[in-house]
C-alpha cells in the first residue's frame, strides 16, 4: 500500500484491489494503472455490492488510461461488438461531471440490469443488431425478467417493474447511440422500443390534523432521537426536499434577509434550487435554532439521516396508511396546490425541470375532500 494511505485508515479485504475506508465505511478500488496506483470509490458500504462493482470499475479505469494514451485496452472488445460501446458508455457516465455520484451509480447499475436480461448483447455485432432484436428483448424482459425481484418478496409478477424496464430502455438507447455517433449503424435500432406505462401511485395523504398528530406521536415516543426524527419529518413536509437534499442542508443555506432557503440538489451537481421560507418552514427553523443554541453555519439542520421507522410507527398508532420519506414531498406539493399555488410554480419548488408536466401528472387529481370544497364555490 502507498505510504500516503495509512494502515489505520484502510482495511484490507480478501478480494484483490478492494479496500475499505475505516472512517467512512465505504469500499474503494485500488488499481495499478501504467505503473501508478489509482483509487476510486465504489460508493457503497456493502461488501457484496462492492465486489460486484469492482470488476467494472477496474475495466473503466484501465480503459480511460488507455484512451488517454491512444492505446487499445488489453482484452478489449472487438471494433464492432456491442461490448465496445457498453464500455464507452460507462466511461462517458464516469466522466460526466454534471452527474451526481448517485446518478452515476444508478446509470451503471442499469447496464448490469440490461446485460442480465440480455446476456448475448455484449457479444453481438452492433451492425447486425436490428429493431426486431431490441423489441424481442423488450417483450421477454417485461414478461419474464431476470433476477430483479428479491427472493423474500412475495409477488405474482414475473417480469421487470415498469421503472426498471424503462431505465434499461434508456440505457440500451444510449449505448447504441454511441455506435450511431461513430458511424457503425445507420440509425439507432432501439429508438422505437416502447417504454412500459408506469402504474400511477394513488396518493393517500394525511389531513392537516392527522399530520400534526403524527409529528406529536414521533416527538413524544421517548426515543433518544424522537425530537430529531420529528424535526426531519416536518423539514421534509414543509420544504418539499428529497431526503438526501434535506440531510445536506446546513444553516448557511438559510437566508432570513431574503426569506429563502437554498436546497442543495441531489440529482446532479448543479441541480440546487431556491425556495421561499414558507411560514411553517421558517417557524420550524427558528424553533430548532432556539432549542439547540448557537451553532456554526456549517452545522447540519437535520441531525439524523432517516425517520422512516418513526414515521411508519406513528402512522400505525394514529390509524392511517404508513408513509415514507417521499410521501412527505407529495404532502408538500399537495398542500401548495390546495392553497392555490399554480402547478408550474410548485414544480420549480420541487426541483423539476419539465415545466410542470410531471407535477400535473402526479397531482392533477387532488384529494376528494378538496374537490368537494372547491365545488361549493361554483354558482350558476
pLDDT tens-digit series, residues 152-161: 333 344 568 8
Percentage of the chain surpassing pLDDT 90?
A: 44
**Structural domain boundaries, residue 108:** 78-199
Last residue of a domain, one of 148, 181, 199: 199
Asked, for residue 221, whether it belongs to a domain, the answer is: yes
What's the rounded mean pLDDT across residues 341-356? Answer: 80
Same domain, 232 and 317: yes
Q: Are residues 320 and 358 in the same domain?
A: yes
At residue 344, the 3 state secondary structure works out as helix
Least confidently predicted of 70-74, 181-185, 217-221, 258-262: 70-74
Query: Do both 86 and 42 map to the same domain?
Result: no
380 within a domain of the structure (yes/no): no
pLDDT band, residue 371 (cuts 50/70/90): low
Domain presence at residue 231: yes
Give me the number of domains the chain comprises. Answer: 3
For residues 162 and 232, membership in a common domain is answered with no
Q: How confident is the model at residue 362 (pLDDT cuts 50, 70, 90)?
A: low
Last residue of a domain, one of 23, 49, 76: 76
Give domain status of residue 377, yes or no. no
Q: How confident is the model at residue 39 (pLDDT cuts 50, 70, 90)?
A: confident
Q: What is the pLDDT of residue 150?
A: 34
Q: What are phi and psi of 302, to 5 degrees?
A: -95, 130
pTM given for the model: 0.57
H or E, element range at 254: strand 254-255
Is 338 exposed, middle or buried (CB count within 10 Å of its CB: 0-12, 13-18, 19+)? Answer: middle
Average pLDDT, the chain: 83
6 with 118, same domain? no
Average pLDDT over residues 243-267: 90
Residue 59 or 350, more confident: 350
**Percent of the chain topping pLDDT 70:** 82
**140 and 151 part of one domain:** yes
Shared domain for 285 and 352, answered yes or no, is: yes
Instruction: Say if 375 falls within a structural domain.
Output: no
Same domain membership, residue 269 and residue 237: yes
CA angle at residue 315 from 313 to 317, to 5 degrees? Answer: 70
299 vs 57 pLDDT, higher one: 299
Amino acid at each position: 500500500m502507498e505510504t500516503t494511505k495509512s494502515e489505520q485508515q484502510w482495511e484490507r479485504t480478501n478480494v484483490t484491489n478492494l479496500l475499505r475506508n475505516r472512517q467512512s465505511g465505504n469500499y474503494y478500488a485500488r488499481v495499478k494503472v501504467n505503473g501508478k496506483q489509482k483509487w476510486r470509490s465504489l460508493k457503497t458500504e456493502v461488501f457484496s455490492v462492492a465486489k460486484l462493482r469492482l470488476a467494472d470499475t477496474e475495466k473503466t479505469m484501465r480503459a480511460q488510461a488507455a484512451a488517454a494514451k491512444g492505446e487499445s485496452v488489453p482484452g478489449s472488445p472487438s471494433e464492432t461488438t456491442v461490448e465496445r460501446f457498453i464500455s464507452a458508455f460507462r466511461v462517458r457516465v464516469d466522466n460526466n461531471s454534471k452527474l451526481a455520484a448517485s446518478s452515476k451509480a444508478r446509470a451503471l447499475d442499469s447496464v448490469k440490469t440490461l446485460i442480465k436480461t440480455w446476456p448475448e448483447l455484449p457479444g453481438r455485432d452492433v451492425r447486425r443488431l436490428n429493431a426486431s432484436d431490441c423489441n424481442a428483448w423488450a417483450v421477454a424482459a417485461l414478461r419474464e425478467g431476470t433476477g430483479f425481484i428479491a427472493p423474500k418478496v412475495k409477488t405474482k409478477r414475473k417480469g421487470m417493474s415498469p421503472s426498471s424496464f424503462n431505465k434499461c430502455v434508456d440505457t440500451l438507447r444510449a449505448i447504441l447511440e454511441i455506435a450511431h455517433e461513430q458511424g457503425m449503424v445507420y440509425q439507432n435500432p432501439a429508438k422505437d422500443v416502447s417504454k412500459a406505462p408506469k402504474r400511477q401511485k394513488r396518493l393517500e395523504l394525511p389531513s392537516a390534523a392527522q399530520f400534526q398528530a403524527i409529528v406529536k406521536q414521533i416527538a413524544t415516543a421517548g426515543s433518544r432521537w424522537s425530537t430529531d426524527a420529528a424535526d426531519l419529518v416536518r423539514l421534509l413536509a414543509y420544504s418539499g426536499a428529497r431526503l438526501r437534499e434535506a440531510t445536506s442542508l446546513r444553516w448557511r443555506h438559510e437566508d432570513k434577509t431574503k426569506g429563502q432557503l437554498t436546497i442543495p440538489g441531489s440529482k446532479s451537481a448543479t441541480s440546487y434550487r431556491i425556495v421561499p421560507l414558507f411560514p411553517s418552514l421558517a417557524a420550524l427553523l427558528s424553533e430548532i435554532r432556539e432549542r439547540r443554541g448557537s451553532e456554526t453555519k456549517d452545522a447540519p439542520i437535520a441531525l439524523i439521516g432517516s425517520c422512516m421507522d418513526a414515521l411508519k410507527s406513528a402512522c400505525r398508532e394514529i390509524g392511517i396508511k404508513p408513509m415514507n420519506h417521499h410521501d412527505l414531498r407529495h404532502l408538500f406539493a399537495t398542500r401548495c396546490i390546495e392553497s392555490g399555488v399554480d402547478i408550474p410554480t410548485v414544480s420549480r419548488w420541487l426541483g423539476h425541470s419539465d415545466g410542470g408536466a410531471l407535477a400535473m401528472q402526479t397531482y392533477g387529481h387532488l384529494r376528494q375532500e378538496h374537490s368537494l370544497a372547491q365545488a361549493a364555490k361554483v354558482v350558476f
